[in-house]
Amino acid sequence: MRGTSAIVGIGESTYYKAGAATESEFQLTCTAIRRAAEDAGISVKDIDGFVSYANDRNIPTRLATALGVRELRFSGLAWDGGGNGVAGALAVADAAVTAGYANYVVCYRGLAQGQFGRFGQARERGRMRAEGHEAFRIPFGVVAPATWYAIIARRFLYEHGTTENSLAEIALVSYDNAQRNPRAVRYGRPLTKEEYLRSRWIVEPFRLYDCCQESDGAAAVIVTSADRARDHPKKPAYIWAAAQGMEYRGAAGGAFGAGYNDPEFPTAHLKVVARQLWSRAGIGPQDVQVAQFYENFTGMVVMAICELGFADPDEVEDWLLAGNIRWPNGRLPINTSGGNLAEAYIHGFELVNEAVRQVRGESTSQVDNVYYSLVVAGPGALPASAAILSAER
């Protein structure tokens, strides 16, 4: 990697609360892709590659036909059904462009939960058989993501003496940043610590504001080679490094983010990814100026911060409460658009757009002198992934 490809265009639909969209999921996705092409200064017909993740319903052949793509040359999917694939999709696009399989690859995610139902809703009720990893969860009532991840986070909090104050800090930071972002669904709806603590339990240790919101919308980016990127109107965000994977037996006893028999339990499954990422990038956590952490649940963000090397697990609460993740003066401002919690839950892909804005200097919570911008995909889901964008090649 090291900047052989770059993101030259970003786009999104309007972000809606789940059920509020007037367009279908497919229409939302087409809108995000068209806007990304416009931002890149190309015709949508010039797109010749499509990459998504999480088994996106908006398949490349239908998108290419509807958008008038002249020639579809590449399509790919980062495997599995969770938000773990956000950065994995960027890696696939980078590989396609670098290998010459396509010139302009659009990475995208569309999600209309009002149309198709809540993404994280338990739907196994009434089934008579649970197979594979579901056999470790469903018979015991562990049927929704909030429950899967609560078990992991609860154990982490216990082992390291971490309290609800750390979880609250993640939520408060995301909501605070959303108040400067007119795109955010929670724009104009600030959150106080008192309101956070009064909110109802979903499953301990997660309260209402610890859980990502439900949304309708789509987001997309255009990836091309570094050589072509110089000819586009916006400042390129170079894909400096990406990594995807998991530890030994990471899916044992639950898979898809559970891994209750994983030898490393409790984990966000990012330790192997972190080693790969920093090695490929040739930098370390101290070199990153801003980060977007996928908040499926706040406890998983706390774990991800530790596993990426920004804080020691036994000291992470002090590190968080010292203001390190707050904009503008924190050591590592995070989720500067509001993230999944407060901007929109586009299955995490809106975080990529924000990472690009930080490189360009266009964020509503802009960090000074951004050179490296980090994106961390859904912590706890498998296979995990992360990527680093750079301001220069």
> Measured between alpha carbons, how far is 185 from 181 in angstroms, rounded to an integer?
9
Cβ(208)–Cβ(199) below 8 Å:
yes
Helices 25-40 and 60-67 pack at an angle, to 10 degrees, of: 60
- Only one residue has tokens 């706390």, namely 302
Helix, strand or coil for residue 221? strand
Does the annotation count 294 as an active-site position? yes
Tokens representing 139? Answer: 């018979």
Please give the C-alpha separations between residue 145 and each of 179, 278, 318, in angstroms, as whole numbers: 27, 29, 28
Is beta strand 16-17 parallel, antiparallel or unpaired with respect to 215-225? antiparallel
Of the listed 15, 294, 371, 372, which one is catalytic? 294
Tokens representing 82? Answer: 């969770």
Cβ(171)–Cβ(219) below 8 Å:
no
In 261-297, which residue ranges form alpha helices assigned H by DSSP? 271-281
Beta bridge partners of 50: 75, 106
What's the first-to-final CA gap in the chain, in angstroms?
10
Does the annotation count 149 as an active-site position? no
Which DSSP string do the residues of 225-237 spell out, in sequence order? EHHHHTTSSSPPE
Of the listed 187, 345, 371, 372, which one is catalytic? 345
| Catalytic residue positions, numbered | 294, 345
